[in-house]
């Protein structure tokens, strides 16, 4: 009793195997190529958009109310992107 199914000749099996390998190679080439292009595009955007800090106001290591000339009694809060502070507006 044989559990082997007859799905075609050896030649058709070889053709399906080669087709699958070719498809995998083409798919991986397209995928990795698009990832590389997207990585380059993202690296360029970081330097041209507000994704990176555009300037540094104070080069001192220690920041206090006096060094940034804040009024007494105020709290300093470090913020990466001031455009996202809508929740703090009253």
| Each residue's pLDDT tens digit, 42-81 | 877 766 655 555 566 656 667 777 777 888 888 777 777 7
Average pLDDT over residues 27-47: 87
Q: Is the pTM of this model over 0.75?
A: no
Distances (CA, A) of 39 to 23, 45, 46: 24, 10, 11
User: 81 and 50 in contact (C-beta within 8 Å)?
Assistant: yes
DSSP line for 21-72: HHHHHHHHHHHHHHHHHHHHHHHHHHHHSTTS----S---SS--TTTTTPPT
Q: How far apart are CA 57 and CA 51, in angstroms?
A: 17
pLDDT at 65: 75
- φ/ψ (deg, to 5) at 58: -135, 120
The CB density around residue 65, as the number of other CB atoms within 10 Å, is: 13
Between 15 and 44, name the one with better pLDDT: 15
Confidence of residue 22 (pLDDT cuts 50, 70, 90): very high
> Percent of the chain having pLDDT more than 90?
27
**Predicted local confidence at residue 18, as pLDDT:** 94
């Amino acid at each position: 009793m044989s559990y082997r199914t007859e799905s075609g000749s050896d030649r058709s099996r070889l053709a399906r195997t080669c087709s699958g390998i070719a498809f995998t190679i083409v798919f991986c080439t397209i995928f990795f190529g698009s990832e590389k292009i997207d990585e380059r595009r993202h690296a360029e955007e970081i330097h041209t958009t507000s994704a990176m800090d555009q300037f540094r106001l104070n080069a001192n290591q220690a920041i206090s109310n006096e060094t940034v000339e804040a009024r007494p009694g105020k709290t300093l809060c470090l913020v990466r992107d001031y455009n996202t502070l809508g929740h703090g507006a009253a």
